[in-house]
Amino acid sequence: MATPHNDRPEPTYEQPAMTDATNQPRASTERHSLPSYNVNNRRSSISREGGRKSSDEEGTVVGENAYENHDENVHPTGRPRSPSHLTVKTEADLHPPPHAVLSPSQTREQNKRLDDDLAMLKIERQVSRIEEEDVPGNGDGERDVVHRSRSRRRNDDVDEFDIATNPVHEQTQVYKPIEHPASAFGRFIRKLHKSNVIVRWVTYIVPLVVILLIPLLLGALVFTRAIVGGVRLEWFMIWLEIVWLTLWAGRLLAKMLPWPIGVVSTLFTNNSKKWRDMGKQLELPATLFFWWLAIEISFLPTMKSHQRDRDYSHTPHWMKVMNKVLVSIFVGVILNFVEKIIIQLIAISFHLRTYADRIEINKFQIGSLAKLYQFSKQKIQMEDSEFEAPSDRPGSGTMTPGALMTDAAKQTKQAFAKFGDVAGKVAGDFTGKKALNSTHPSSVVLALLSSTSGSQILARRLYRTFAREETQTVHSDDLRDAFENDDEAEAAFSMFDKDMNGDISMDELEAVCVEIGRERKSITASLKDLDSVVGKLDDVFMFIVVVITILVFISLISTSAAGVLTSAGSTILALSWLFAATAQEFLQSVIFVFVKHPFDVGDRVGVYGNTGARGLGDDYFVKEISLLYTEF
């Protein structure tokens, strides 16, 4: 039967007796142990009397002292060895500290750090280049500066999101010249359209005034007996001058309309800007209203008071007909003015009810990201400046001209950027819009949020700045230095902490940044579609206004035409079944879009039925909302 392994005796090795220096015999046999690999560093005793050490003590076995806790820098004399540039640490760290082990998030952030820094630098250069394009060049000096200032005032570097989220319904521009006209007259009109408002008005008003003034002076000085429809020639031409000049007077009065509207709105609300914007959008219908009001008021008194050989009580037939035409047109202008006011009120009320909260939240989120990015940029620049070598003494040889040119180019670039920022601030004071500086962090943040990859780059940049090494997450205290008060920091932290566990991981930062960018695009697309819906509703109302104006005109022209309209109305009512369904569908569509409004652009809509992979329905994403249809 085999002996168990644990019960076997340890083998012994017998050696012949050895003699020492005196040739005296030693002990016959002695028990020796095998080489030991004990990691507990216990020494074996001396095996022989002659002072010879075992292999454990001599350290002759390779690697047997690898786990001994001793100082290798101790000199044989007993003094510690001072480190030098050739000192190499050779021991293996098999148990690194916990913070030395990188998490997957930190590993991914470090692997993409170089690409992120290059992409961030590219975005910053693009934003700065856009601003530098508006800086005046070396051309015609002051004239170039004035031209750039005018163009900046018209095309302010404002946030496109503020323009898209304007609650009022923006009317299209009446006339916009082409970019590259072929004829000389087209180039003149384009140049005139881009000139100063005083130059434009003088160019528009004076030529026709001079043309009308020629027959006026001829009738007053040469042909004193000339008449037009029983009215003296000079007074008929004076009325035409009134018609032309009251158009521009009404335009000037309509341009001043936003100021009293804003003053009155301050009595009822704190947000008077939207009401001032509403007054700006009502400029054209208000101009037509004031213009035709002046025409109607001035026509009969001017014509009847200056008839030749007739008194004021006599009214010729053509004056009566002309007055009816003017009255019908004035009624249409009044209806148009009222219709535009109703459209603006619908747009503002629907905007406040549906999108106001989403817009404010998105603006706060983007503002928080801008503050975090600004703090991150300052912190990284502060850390990088510690590694820059000071250059107190000038370079020698051929390096000095290059250094001077580099410094000059850098200072010129900074001066141009500063000039552009000042010009943008002045333009903002004139237009009431806030212009962004070339170094403004919001410009960079908005450029990054325009794409998914840019949003992730911004998130990793913030994680690199605020994450703690020991926990590899971001806590609420880490964000306090980037904000003015603790409440704002807490609100920003809750914005990122989606799982509400008290910390923010890099995955959460990336998801939130991408979501903010998508929400911004979704709101912009929804408001654009809503503006198109309001525009179509405006077209329908304008058709109704035109029909009413025609009916008023026909009824005023003759009584027989009024009878014909009565019979025609009876016929239309008899055929109401033909278009009743269309009218009902139109009314339901208006209620669905402006009252119910169950979804917006970007929302996911689940349609239940027998379709889909499992036969339980499909999910659709809203692409466009129109008045009579919705595109998924």
Which tens digit of pLDDT belongs to each residue from 405-445? 555 555 554 554 454 444 444 444 433 444 444 456 888 88
Residue 116 lies in a domain: no
| Neighbouring-strand partners of residue 227 | 232
Residue 278: phi and psi, rounded to 5, are -65, -40
Residues of the chain where predicted confidence (pLDDT) is lower than 70: 1-103, 131-175, 382-440, 562, 611-615
**Taking a C-beta distance cutoff of 8 angstroms, is the pair 388, 381 a contact?**
no
How far is the CA of 335 from the CAs of 104, 330, 404, 557, in angstroms?
67, 9, 69, 19
Residue 390 lies in a domain: no
**Which tokens hold the place of 359?**
């817009």
Give CA–CA dist 44/42, Å, rounded: 7
Using alpha carbons, select from 347, 352, 336 the residue that is nearest to residue 531: 347
Of 354, 386, 408, which residue sits at a domain end? 354
Give the 3-state secondary structure of residue 170. coil
**Which tokens hold the place of 437?**
């500086």
Give CA–CA dist 426/431, Å, rounded: 9
Of 330, 354, 378, which residue sits at a domain end? 354
Q: Look at phi and psi of residue 304 and say left if phi exceeds 0, alpha if psi is from -120 to 50, else beta.
A: alpha
Residue 198 lies in a domain: yes
**Which tokens hold the place of 541?**
């109302």
Of 324, 354, 384, which residue sits at a domain end? 354
Residue 250 lies in a domain: yes
Task: Tell me how many domains the chain contains.
Answer: 2
Residue 547 lies in a domain: yes
Q: Which distant-in-sequence residues (6+ apart) come within 8 Å of 163 by Cβ?
A: none
Burial class of residue 529 (count of CB atoms within 10 Å of its CB; 0-12, 13-18, 19+) = buried
Residue 148 lies in a domain: no
Give CA–CA dist 339/57, Å, rounded: 105
Residue 275 lies in a domain: yes
pLDDT score recorded for residue 45? 39
Nearest 5°: the CA angle 92, 96, 99 is 150
pLDDT score recorded for residue 170? 62
pLDDT score recorded for residue 577? 79
598 is in which domain, residue-wise? 525-631
| Neighbouring-strand partners of residue 307 | 231
With b meaning 16 or more CB within 10 Å and e meaning fewer, what string describes 100-136? eeeeebbebbeeeeeebeebbeebbeebbeebeebbb
Residue indicated by tokens 């026509």 = 299
**Taking a C-beta distance cutoff of 8 angstroms, is the pair 625, 597 a contact?**
no
Residue 500 lies in a domain: no
